[in-house]
């Protein structure tokens, strides 16, 4: 390595600056470490290069993030923002066949009209079906109705598939996320089960009852009807509270009926305990019956009760339109009963009121326990045959029992003011709450 000495004159002072050159290296004498200058410069250059590389990497990452953001933004920009961007992992809103299904649902009004016409046609075919006459479906009428039913089912199935492709299946904004769509799905699946059983010659008629739900598909097509149904569904919790209150009212009235009238509707007029008959003669009935089948029983009042009817009110026996007047020991009965048409008045011997074994209407009307009491209460609030039940209780117990039935009708019947007003308040409450929550202008 050769060394060279260079002298330079300073720009202002004229001082001579000496530099020692060793080959390619230049040594400045003014440097505190003239012989380590090359190492420091190399380190600085390496650091600068590392910094530049780091900056370039950050810029590349930043560009990648910008690209990802722009790509994600491009995915969100869709023709129908209210719908799911991608369904079935590959079908975008602009991808065929999903784009075609979306246009059918939202752009083509004729599709909704055709669907409504098919629903109305289904109502007509269901009304014309005669199950008792079409057991084997051999008539031409039944075959035509079956063909229409198959066409209607195929249309509903295609409609479901189109909606699934357009909206997706699972999710809040997808097909099964809507309650009415779930009803449509259930109807189509029930029809599929029905046709599968028919192909295997399995007679399961209970599944056919699902057909009656098909007209409910019209609710989703008529906005005003859907509003009314949604209002009814919104009021169900409040109506549930009304039903709970009615249940407690029924429970109270049922307990009152059981405590007052348990077993009283089984009271009948029997003969006295020491009643005897001549050999070969017997009473026509064990107790007095107003008619042959005892559909309208004569219910008497026990001695300790204050009912309206007693065994003294039992009318005379009549046979062939004539009143019987003979006594059981009358000799004329044996001699001339067959020729003169005379008969024995057996009803005069039913003088003892006693609790028997049968209740009115084949045992359905009674207050023997809370379950039967609820059955009676339900019949009373329907206002069908309640007067006859009230007369039974008044005959057996007391005239003032009508107060019980009048109060029950006022509180609980369909025409009673109390329950009707509660129902009206329950229906009107959501509307009032919704109006109070609206922000003031």
The string of DSSP letters for 108-143 reads -HHHHHHHHHHHHHHHHHHHH--TTT-SS--SHHHH
In the predicted model, residues of the chain with pLDDT beneath 50 are: 1-37, 69-76, 331, 435-441
Q: Tell me, yes or no, whether 128 lies in a domain.
A: yes
Q: Tell me, yes or no, whether 317 lies in a domain.
A: no
Q: Tell me, yes or no, whether 83 lies in a domain.
A: no
97 cis-preceded (ω within 30 degrees of 0): yes
Q: Tell me, yes or no, whether 245 lies in a domain.
A: no
If one counts every other C-beta atom within 10 angstroms of the C-beta of residue 359, the result is 20
Q: What is the 3-state secondary structure (H, E, C) of 368-400?
A: CCHHHHHHHHHHHHCCCCHHHHHHHHHHHCEHH
DSSP, collapsed to helix, strand or coil, labels residue 270 as strand
Residue 437, pLDDT score:
45
Task: Give 7-33 pLDDT, tens digit per residue.
Answer: 444 444 444 444 444 444 444 444 444
The CA distance from 412 to 252, in Å, is 12
Q: Tell me, yes or no, whether 8 lies in a domain.
A: no
Token representation of residue 217: 């598909």
Secondary element (H or E) of residue 186: helix 179-199
Q: Tell me, yes or no, whether 129 lies in a domain.
A: yes
Residue 394, pLDDT score:
95
Q: Average model confidence (pLDDT) for the chain? A: 76
**CATH code, domain carrying 213:** 1.20.120.350
Q: Tokens 């079906």 — which residue? A: 129
Residue 417, pLDDT score:
60
DSSP, collapsed to helix, strand or coil, labels residue 4 as strand
| Residue range of the domain that includes 184 | 96-221
225: Cβ–Cβ under 8 A, 6 or more apart, which residues? Answer: 218, 219
Token representation of residue 105: 């649902």
The CA distance from 39 to 267, in Å, is 126
Residue 169, pLDDT score:
84
The CA distance from 270 to 230, in Å, is 60
**Cα angle value 383/405/396 (rounded, 5°):** 110
Q: Tell me, yes or no, whether 278 lies in a domain.
A: no
Q: Tell me, yes or no, whether 170 lies in a domain.
A: yes
Q: For the chain, how many structural domains are there in total? A: 1
**Cα angle value 403/408/414 (rounded, 5°):** 140
- List b or e across 298-316, with b for residues whose CB sees 16 or more CB atoms inside 10 angstroms: bbbbbeebebbbbbeebee
């Amino acid at each position: 390595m050769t060394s060279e000495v260079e002298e330079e004159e300073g720009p202002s002072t004229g001082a001579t600056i000496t530099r020692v050159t060793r080959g390619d290296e230049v040594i400045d004498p003014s440097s505190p470490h003239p012989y380590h200058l090359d190492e420091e410069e190399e380190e600085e250059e390496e650091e600068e290069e590392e910094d530049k590389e780091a900056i370039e990497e950050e810029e590349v990452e930043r560009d990648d993030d910008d690209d990802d953001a722009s790509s994600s933004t491009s995915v969100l920009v869709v023709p129908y923002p209210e719908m799911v961007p991608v369904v079935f992992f590959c079908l975008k809103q602009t991808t065929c066949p999903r784009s075609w299904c979306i246009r059918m649902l939202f752009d083509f009004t004729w599709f909704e009209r055709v669907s409504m016409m098919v629903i109305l046609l289904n109502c007509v075919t269901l009304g014309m079906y005669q199950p008792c006459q079409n057991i084997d479906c051999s008539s031409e009428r039944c075959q035509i109705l079956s063909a229409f039913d198959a066409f209607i089912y195929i249309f509903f199935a295609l409609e479901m598939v189109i909606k699934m492709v357009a909206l997706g299946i699972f999710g809040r904004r997808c097909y099964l996320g809507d309650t009415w769509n779930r009803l449509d799905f259930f109807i189509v699946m029930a029809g599929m089960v029905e046709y599968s059983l028919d192909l295997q010659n399995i007679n399961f008629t209970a599944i056919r009852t699902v057909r009656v739900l098909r007209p409910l598909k019209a609710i989703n097509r008529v906005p005003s009807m859907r509003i009314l149904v949604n209002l009814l569904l919104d009021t169900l919790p409040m109506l549930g509270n009304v039903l709970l209150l009615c249940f407690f009212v029924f429970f109270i009235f049922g307990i009152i009926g059981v405590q007052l009238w348990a077993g009283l509707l089984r009271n009948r007029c029997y003969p006295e305990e020491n009643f005897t008959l001549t050999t070969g003669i017997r009473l026509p009935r064990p107790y007095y019956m107003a008619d042959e089948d005892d559909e309208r029983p004569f219910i008497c009042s026990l001695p300790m009760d204050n009912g309206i009817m007693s065994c003294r009110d039992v009318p005379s026996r009549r046979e062939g339109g004539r009143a019987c007047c003979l006594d059981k020991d009358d000799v004329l009965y044996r001699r001339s009963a067959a020729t003169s048409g005379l008969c024995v008045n057996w009803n005069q011997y039913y003088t003892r009121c006693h609790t028997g074994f049968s209740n009115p209407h084949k045992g359905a009307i009674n207050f023997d326990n809370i379950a039967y009491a609820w059955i009676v209460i339900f019949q009373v609030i329907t206002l069908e045959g309640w007067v006859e039940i009230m007369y039974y209780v008044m005959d057996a117990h007391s005239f003032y029992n009508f107060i019980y039935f009048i109060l029950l009708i006022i509180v609980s019947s369909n025409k009673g003011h109390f329950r009707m007003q509660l129902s009206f308040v329950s229906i009107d409450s959501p509307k009032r709450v919704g109006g109070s929550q609206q922000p003031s202008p």
